[in-house]
């Protein structure tokens, strides 16, 4: 095996590597890269997200070869992809469901980070880069959803761009600028297509930065304590390449299930009706991955301190994402992993339930109990980050941390048992 390692083989490779140390760097970062020996399957989702980015770019480029970004032809060109282009249905379903898979993976990845305190020093920038990736993903997904130019595409574009009309004084001017006209139309579709093609490469660039920041201090781990020496780590290859590959196979089964057996389950049938600027669908909902933000937007039905409900809804909806930027400083606890945080551990799961509730609210028509639940859930979301996170860090008494990863994993007695009984460890 040693002979097959890059750089050890041919003289040409060594000649190149001496001048352009690409292979040596790759070997260092993907082969020897010391990784905590105790990573669980929750740590698979980073590499899965990276793989999904590649899948989305690959399927997207092949769709772009067949797609026409014109208001007159867009819908028909998508139908042509579905009916006439060889395997066009497969590539389009892989792309459309891929977006859902990508978001599911990234949301799990984010909640993993929240549970195990992966955003804490010295990984604040790593976390911030991740939030930037999420924002870019949302923008990209939104513009991609507009491209098929069905009813949902058209009205999603109208509603989301109209969010900016809440800006005082210049709101309507901004919206006209975004549209390139007085309604969503051909110019809007063209620019969304151009940006939908561009942003994934911006994401790719930020992902590179995310990886550079990750490799600076290495992965966090379920214990949330630093690696203190070689006994705490194992080389990335073969241990985590194999583990990631196995996780990938399991994930691909789920992905393939949606692509082949339920390709429209996550979509909206109204989007198979061509865009009609004269009629809005009766029940308009965004894709599932945007439902919580949508729920917050709709929950604000009252004005506060003279800020109109419309503007406040937009602020709180965007704010729910932007607040993630300051999470490393909102959380005052020095302990990373929730395994050792008896109070926060439960509060974390309340946040998960809260976000799921917001998703449920976003999915249902805003009437009766749904509005009330939405308002409570919105309030709790902000309460979690702005009050609970700083306060719990101050008042909570964390469990004693193990002295090292190696002692905890390879036989640390008491600390090992307590780790085993933590709820996330059983999953």
Partner 1 sequence: MADLAHENIAHAHSGETRRDFLILTAGALGAVAVGATVWPFIDSMNPARDTLAASTTEVDLAPVAVGQRLTVAWRGKPVFIDHRPAAEIKAAQDVDISQLRDPQTDAERVKKPEWLVVVGVCTHLGCIPLGQKTGDDRGPFGGWFCPCHGSIYDTSGRIRQGPAPLNLALPPYDFTGKTTIKIG
CA 48 from chain centre, in angstroms, equals: 11
Are the CB atoms for 377 and 199 separated by under 8 Å?
no
Question: Using CA atoms, how far apart are residues 203 and 266, in angstroms rounded to an integer?
Answer: 24
B/e letters for 111-149, b = 16+ CB within 10 Å, e = fewer, are bbbbbbbbbbeebbebbbbbbbbbbbbbbbbbbbbbbbb
Does residue 76 touch partner 1 according to CB under 8 A?
no
CB of 151 to partner 1, least distance (A): 25
Rounded least distance, CB 58 to partner 1, Å: 7
- Contact range with partner 1 by CB under 8 A, out of 57-65, 180-188, 224-232, 316-324: 57-65
Question: Known catalytic residue: 219?
Answer: yes
Residue span binding partner 1 (CB under 8 A) among the ranges 4-12, 78-86, 165-173, 394-402: 78-86
Q: How far is CA 331 from CA 108, 174, 223, 323, 356, in A?
A: 20, 36, 17, 12, 22
Determine if 85 is a binding residue for partner 1 (CB under 8 A): yes
| H or E element, residue 36 | strand 34-36
- Rounded least distance, CB 357 to partner 1, Å: 38
Answer yes or no: 287 catalytic: yes
Residue 265 neighbours by CB distance under 10 Å:
10
Strands (E), 259-395: none
**Contact flag: residue 66 with partner 1 (CB under 8 A):** yes
Among 62, 67, 348, 381, binds partner 1 (CB under 8 A): 62
Identify each DSSP E strand in 131-230 by its residue range.
none
Active site residue 32: no
DSSP 117: T
According to CB under 8 A, which one of 14, 80, 190, 399 is a site residue for partner 1? 80
Q: Which is nearer to partner 1, 58 or 422 (CB)?
A: 58
Q: Would you call 120 a catalytic residue per the annotation?
A: no
87 binds partner 1 (CB under 8 A): yes
83 binds partner 1 (CB under 8 A): yes
What residues contact residue 348 under an 8 Å CB cut-off, 6+ apart?
Answer: 114, 115, 338
With CB under 8 A as the contact rule, which of the stretches 84-92, 120-128, 220-228, 301-309 interacts with partner 1? Answer: 84-92
Given the rule CB under 8 A, which residues bind partner 1?
Answer: 58-59, 62, 65-66, 80, 83-88, 90-91
Report the catalytic residues: 215, 219, 243-244, 287
């Amino acid at each position: 095996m040693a002979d097959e390692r890059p750089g050890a083989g041919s003289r040409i490779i060594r000649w190149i590597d001496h001048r352009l140390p690409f292979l040596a760097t790759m070997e260092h970062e993907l082969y020897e890269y010391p990784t905590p020996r105790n990573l669980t399957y929750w740590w698979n989702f980073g590499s899965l997200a990276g793989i999904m980015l590649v899948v989305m770019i690959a399927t997207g480029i092949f769709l772009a070869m067949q797609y026409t970004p014109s208001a007159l032809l867009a819908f028909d060109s998508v139908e042509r992809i579905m009916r006439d282009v060889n395997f066009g249905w497969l590539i389009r379903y892989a792309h459309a469901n891929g977006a859902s898979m990508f978001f599911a993976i990234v949301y799990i990845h984010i909640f993993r980070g929240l549970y195990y305190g992966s955003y804490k020093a010295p990984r604040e920038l790593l976390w911030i880069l991740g939030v930037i990736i999420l924002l870019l993903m949302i923008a990209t997904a939104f513009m991609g959803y507009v491209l098929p130019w069905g009813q949902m595409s058209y009205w999603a574009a109208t509603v989301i761009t109209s969010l900016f009309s809440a800006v005082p004084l210049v709101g309507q001017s901004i919206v006209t600028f975004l549209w390139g006209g007085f309604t969503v139309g051909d110019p809007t579709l063209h620019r969304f297509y151009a940006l939908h093609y561009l942003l994934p490469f911006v994401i790719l660039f930020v992902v590179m930065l995310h990886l550079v920041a990750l490799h600076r201090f290495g992965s966090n781990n379920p214990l949330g304590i630093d690696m203190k020496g070689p006994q705490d780590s194992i080389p990335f290859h073969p241990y985590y390449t194999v583990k990631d590959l196995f996780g990938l196979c399991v994930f691909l089964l789920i992905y393939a299930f949606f692509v082949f057996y339920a390709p429209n389950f996550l979509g909206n049938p109204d989007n198979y009706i061509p865009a009609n600027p004269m009629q809005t669908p009766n029940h308009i909902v965004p894709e599932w991955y945007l439902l919580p933000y949508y729920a917050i937007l709709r929950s604000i039905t009252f004005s506060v301190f003279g800020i109109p409900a419309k503007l406040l809804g937009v602020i709180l909806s965007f704010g729910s994402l932007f607040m993630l930027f300051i999470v490393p400083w909102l959380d005052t606890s020095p302990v990373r992993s929730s395994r050792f945080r008896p109070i926060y551990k439960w509060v974390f799961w309340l946040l998960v339930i809260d976000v799921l509730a917001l998703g449920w609210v976003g999915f249902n028509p805003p009437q009766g109990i749904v509005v009330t639940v939405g308002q409570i859930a919105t309030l709790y979301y902000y309460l979690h980050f702005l009050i609970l996170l700083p306060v719990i860090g101050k008042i909570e008494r964390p469990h004693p941390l193990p002295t090292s990863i190696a002692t905890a994993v390879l036989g640390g007695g008491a600390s090992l048992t307590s780790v085993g009984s933590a709820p996330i460890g059983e999953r």
